[in-house]
């Protein structure tokens, strides 16, 4: 039996397919340059073994939300350890970065609050805003001047939250956090920094951009996600005890979610320990990605303002990006083709993610194949 609504849904999918925007699930083939396992820790034996031992010791699940029976001691011990690692008063574990951003933004931004939002922020931050009903101010990407103009328009006594990313996942560029911190102080705003793509890579011991710039006392909340450089899953928010207590009481994605398994929490800590110890991993990522950027930019390829292990190859149209992906796949490389609405219309691209698992000769060959293909267009 076919229901009437199915025709409507089918037509929407057909339109996406016509536009070249239909998504489907696939498995990487060849050398993978699409994933976020920047430090190559997803298959690290020591981390996997610690998680496996914890599953045996503590069980497969947490059994409930942390406020209703799911608060295992390993959560509190790990949060204390992570807070000490980051140098903050407190920390709070979330199931993932999306869940954390949803909970943080919606918790602090009620209908009277003002959210100042970089136009290229991740969807999870704007989805948190949609839940909050607050007043949104979108400022130009990485523009302190535009942010200040927006801040000047808000009532001086109103609650103001500035939400930015440290490294932007589709452009690979770095936020001007020092200028944002100065503006937050000047206008009495809270500054929240999502370090999803900078933690593990930047800063002393991989502590992120906030630590690299010495802004620990000026950034009020920061987020680490463990499903990227740390190769596991889960997320953790860092800040003062006051702010963390507020989230425990108001972040709906925390309050109403079954907690992640204790084994996952153990893996989070072990991944940080391994990352901090094995400095060669981040050193390799930064060196190889810098060499890759130099080679392709010297050949005239546009990789926007990338300064990190995330290197976009701007191709413009969806068709051009898809054909370039297909060419590279024939050459043995798996890349991510990023299309609207994930990126603005007219900026379809390949996103090349450099990992500690990549060999220099393979990255060099990727650069050569990219240069050959784009110059042949």
| Planar angle of CA 77, 80, 81, nearest 5 degrees | 85
Contacts 24+ apart (CB under 8 A), 240-243: 240/88, 240/89, 240/90, 241/89, 241/90, 243/90
- Spatial separation of the C-alpha atoms in residues 28 and 329, rounded to whole Å: 10
Block residue for tokens 């009437």: 4
Among residues 318, 354, 355, the alpha carbon closest in space to that of 43 is found at 355
- Spatial separation of the C-alpha atoms in residues 113 and 160, rounded to whole Å: 6
DSSP-based helix, strand, coil % in the chain, nearest 5: 45, 15, 40
Kindly write down the DSSP assignment for every residue of 285-339, as one continuous string: HHHHHHHHHHHHHHTT---TT--SSEEEEEEESHHHHHHHHHHHHHTTEE-EEE-
Residues 6+ apart with CB under 8 A from 359: none
Residues 6+ apart with CB under 8 A from 287: none
Which run of H or of E encompasses 352?
strand 348-353
Token pair in block for residue 152: 């000047």
Ramachandran region, residue 231 (left: φ > 0; alpha: ψ -120 to 50; beta: rest): left
Cβ contact 311:335 at 8 Å: no
List active site positions. 36, 122, 165, 169, 194, 197, 228
- Spatial separation of the C-alpha atoms in residues 165 and 120, rounded to whole Å: 9
CB atoms within 10 A of CB 132: 20
Kindly write down the DSSP assignment for every residue of 203-267, as one continuous string: SGGG--HHHHTT-TTT--EEEEESSSTTSS--EEEEE-HHHHHHHHHH-HHHHTSPPPPHHHHHH
Cβ contact 334:32 at 8 Å: yes
């Amino acid at each position: 039996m076919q229901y009437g609504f199915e025709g409507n849904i089918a037509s929407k999918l057909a339109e996406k397919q016509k536009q070249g925007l239909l998504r489907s699930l696939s498995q990487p083939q060849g050398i993978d340059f699409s994933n976020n396992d920047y430090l190559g820790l997803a298959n690290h034996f020591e981390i996997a073994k610690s998680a496996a031992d914890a599953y045996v010791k503590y069980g497969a699940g947490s059994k409930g939300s942390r406020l209703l029976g799911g608060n295992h001691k390993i959560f509190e011990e790990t949060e204390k350890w992570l807070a000490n690692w980051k140098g903050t008063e407190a920390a709070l574990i979330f199931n993932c970065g999306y869940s954390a951003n949803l909970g943080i933004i919606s918790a602090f931004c009620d209908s009277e609050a003002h959210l100042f939002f970089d136009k290229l922020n991740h969807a999870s931050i704007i989805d948190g805003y949609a839940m909050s009903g607050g007043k949104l101010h979108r400022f130009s990407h990485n523009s302190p001047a535009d942010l200040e103009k927006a801040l000047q328009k808000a009532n001086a006594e109103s609650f103001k939250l500035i939400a930015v990313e440290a490294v932007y996942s589709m452009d690979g560029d770095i936020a001007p956090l020092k200028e944002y911190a100065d503006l937050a102080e000047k206008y009495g705003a809270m500054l929240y920094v999502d370090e999803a793509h900078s933690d593990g890579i930047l800063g002393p011991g991989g502590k992120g951009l906030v630590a690299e710039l010495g802004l620990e006392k000026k950034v009020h909340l920061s987020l680490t996600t463990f499903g990227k450089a740390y190769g596991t899953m889960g997320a953790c928010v860092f800040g003062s005890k006051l702010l963390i207590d507020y989230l425990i009481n108001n972040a709906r994605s925390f309050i109403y979610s079954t907690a992640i398994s204790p084994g996952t929490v153990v893996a989070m800590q072990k991944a940080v320990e391994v990352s901090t110890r094995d400095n060669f991993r981040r050193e390799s990522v930064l060196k190889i990605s810098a060499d890759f950027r130099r080679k392709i930019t010297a050949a005239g390829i546009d990789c926007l303002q990338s300064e990190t292990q995330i290197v976009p190859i701007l191709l413009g149209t969806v068709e051009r990006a898809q054909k370039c992906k297909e060419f590279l796949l024939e050459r043995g490389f798996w890349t991510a083709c990023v299309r609207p609405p994930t990126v603005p219309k007219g900026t379809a691209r390949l996103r090349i993610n450099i990992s500690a698992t990549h060999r220099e000769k393979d990255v060099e060959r990727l650069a050569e194949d990219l240069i050959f293909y784009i110059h042949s267009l």
